[in-house]
């Protein structure tokens, strides 16, 4: 069967002007879960939905090698990190990441998040206006460093938080936003290489923490990671913890748009908080899509794939796929009571088994941070959402946020 092909020579410009809706617009137009388009002069097969996610995460059919653009490695991920690894090298390092996500580790980050929000709030005065996103990046930068055992002086917090945030913000950026991401990567790697050298020289200890695990990790050949690689992986812990600031802002926006949850969530059970956090991760746009390359020729649902084909899987689209979700464009945390999630149908942080593929190892940490923050927002912080601000979400910008980054007035 022929994969419906997007008409025209190249659609890079449309990707930049349609953002999160680019893939959806084409699945809609051709009424298909699979379409072919051209981006940066290269043919791409784009897919959406549960079956497509299952296919994408079949590592006998797809590889990540050669699929992650250099510009993403030079900003967001770092070069030659776990995201680009395969086979034994990948599974050994992935095991290390997953070993950080014990129940104890999740409880610890919950406690740190509560402590750090309360410490931050103690600096705010009644009547003061704060920008929630900026505050959240700082709070989560402190949380990330303490959790990972990375020493951080108070005077450094805002610049480190800014740089970790700039790595994330560079994702779909061209021009100045991308350049800012490159500079932030250089500064962050220099900082973390220094810290790792001090750790390896015995200048401080962080027993059982991420820095110790990464600094002492030996690869399949019994070799320690070189300083640069160790820095890339330690940043792979710090940066995404700071990225949760985006879900914090979306949580506050969801509370604002659905005020009935303010009451429902005050003194809510853990599972009620979790349903709300899950719906925030499903409903709001963050990670748009992922890419991989076909390892061999094969057929799927009658469509032919050829070795070397590049495939994009629409994560945001799968989280809004009406064949998976009832009323996907409604914000309804209770859906998680009935709608059963499996490894392939709910993919805000990727799909499949995290131990066997590239799915994010940090979903438990993300939920812990979100639940601690939600409880802080509904139970501990007295605030109003400032009226004269622009809370609209620009779906063209990737990654996106409410335009005003959520201004709150403290009461
Ligand atoms: C991978 C999203 C939080 C660590 C990923 C992937 C996505 C993602 C989409 C790619 C999955 C794939 O390639 O199949 C997010 C989002 C987060 C988040 C939206 C929250 C805002 C975290 C946290 C950690 C983390 C808290 C903490 C350690 C990683 C690592 C990988 C990864 C190390 C690479 C895994 C691999 O290649 O095997 N994440 N993540 N992430 N994430 Fe997260």
Q: How far apart are CA 261 and CA 324, in angstroms?
A: 24
Peptide bond preceding 399: is omega within 30 degrees of 0, i.e. cis?
A: yes
**Measured from the CB, is residue 160 less than 6 Å from ligand 1?**
no
- List the structure tokens of 328: 């996907």
Report the DSSP pairing between strands 42-47 and 310-314: parallel
Q: Which residues, 6 or more positions from 301, have their beta carbon under 8 angstroms from its beta carbon?
A: 1, 34, 51
Q: What is the mean pLDDT of residues 15-41?
A: 96
Q: How far apart are CA 222 and CA 25, in angstroms?
A: 49
Q: What's the angle, vertex CA 149, arms to CA 189 and CA 347, rounded to 5? A: 75
- List the structure tokens of 85: 């690894």
**Measured from the CB, is residue 237 less than 6 Å from ligand 1?**
yes
Q: What is the mean pLDDT of residues 189-215?
A: 98
Task: Read off the pLDDT band of 215 (50, 70, 90).
Answer: very high
From ligand 1's centre to the CA of 350, what distance in Å? Answer: 8
**ipTM beyond cut 0.95:** yes
pLDDT at 11: 96
- 132-190: per-residue pLDDT in tens? 999 999 999 999 999 999 999 999 999 999 999 999 999 988 889 999 999 999 999 99
> Nearest C-alpha to atom 38 of ligand 1 is from which residue?
358
**Measured from the CB, is residue 241 less than 6 Å from ligand 1?**
yes
Alpha helix segments (H runs only) across 201-269: 210-215, 227-257, 260-265
Average pLDDT, rounded, for the chain: 96
pLDDT of 267 over the 90 cut: no
From ligand 1's centre to the CA of 193, what distance in Å? Answer: 21
**Measured from the CB, is residue 97 less than 6 Å from ligand 1?**
yes
- 384-398: per-residue pLDDT in tens? 999 999 999 999 999
pLDDT of 221 over the 90 cut: no
Yes or no: say if 261 and 254 are a contact pair by the CB < 8 Å rule: yes
From ligand 1's centre to the CA of 360, what distance in Å? Answer: 4
The minimum-distance atom of ligand 1 relative to the CA of 57 is 14
- 109-138: per-residue pLDDT in tens? 999 999 999 999 999 999 999 999 999 999
pLDDT at 377: 98
Task: Read off the pLDDT band of 327 (50, 70, 90).
Answer: very high
Task: Read off the pLDDT band of 69 (50, 70, 90).
Answer: confident
- Least confident among 64-73, 104-113, 202-211, 336-345: 64-73
pLDDT of 380 over the 90 cut: yes
Question: How many residues would you count in the chain?
Answer: 411
pLDDT at 98: 98
pLDDT at 174: 81
How does DSSP assign 354-386, residue by residue? TTTSSS-TTHHHHHHHHHHHHHIIIII--EEE-
From ligand 1's centre to the CA of 386, what distance in Å? Answer: 32
- 52-65: per-residue pLDDT in tens? 999 999 999 999 99
pLDDT at 173: 80
pLDDT at 210: 98
């Amino acid at each position: 069967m022929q994969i419906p092909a997007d008409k025209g020579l190249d659609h890079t410009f449309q990707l930049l002007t349609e953002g999160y809706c680019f893939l959806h617009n084409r699945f809609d137009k051709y009424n298909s879960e699979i379409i072919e388009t051209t981006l940066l002069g290269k043919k791409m097969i784009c897919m959406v939905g549960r079956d497509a996610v299952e296919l994408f995460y079949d590592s006998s059919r797809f590889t990540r090698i050669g699929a992650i653009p250099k510009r993403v490695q030079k900003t967001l991920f770092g070069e030659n990190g776990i995201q680009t690894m395969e086979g034994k090298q990948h599974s050994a390092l992935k095991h290390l990441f997953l070993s950080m996500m014990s129940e104890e580790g999740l409880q610890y980050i919950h406690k740190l998040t509560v402590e750090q929000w309360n410490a931050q709030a103690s600096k705010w005065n009644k009547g003061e206006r704060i920008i929630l996103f900026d505050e959240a990046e700082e709070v989560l930068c402190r949380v990330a460093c303490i959790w990972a055992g990375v020493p951080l002086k108070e005077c450094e917090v805002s610049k480190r938080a800014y740089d970790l945030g700039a790595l994330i913000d560079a994702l779909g950026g061209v021009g100045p936003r991308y350049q800012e991401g490159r500079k932030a990567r250089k500064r962050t790697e220099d900082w973390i290489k220094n810290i790792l050298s001090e750790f390896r020289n015995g200048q401080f200890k962080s027993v059982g923490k991420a820095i110790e695990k990464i600094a002492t990790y030996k690869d399949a050949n019994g070799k320690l990671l070189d300083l640069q690689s160790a820095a890339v992986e330690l940043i792979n812990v710090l940066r995404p913890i700071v990225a949760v600031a985006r879900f914090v802002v979306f949580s506050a926006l969801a509370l604002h748009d659905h005020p009935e949850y303010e009451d429902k969530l005050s003194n809510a059970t853990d599972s009620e908080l979790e349903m709300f956090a899950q719906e925030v991760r499903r409903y709001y746009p963050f990670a748009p899509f992922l890419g991989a390359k076909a390892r061999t020729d094969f057929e799927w649902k009658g469509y032919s794939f050829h070795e070397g084909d590049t495939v994009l899987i629409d994560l945001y689209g799968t989280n809004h796929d009406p064949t998976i979700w009832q009323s996907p464009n409604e914000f309804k945390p209770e859906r998680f009571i009935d709608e059963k999630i499996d490894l392939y149908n709910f993919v805000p942080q990727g799909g499949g088994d995290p131990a066997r593929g590239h799915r994010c190892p940090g979903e438990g940490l993300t939920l812990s941070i979100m639940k601690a923050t939600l409880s802080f927002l509904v139970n501990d912080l007295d605030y109003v959402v400032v009226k004269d601000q622009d809370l609209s979400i620009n779906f063209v910008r990737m990654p996106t946020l409410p335009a005003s980054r959520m201004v709150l007035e403290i009461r």
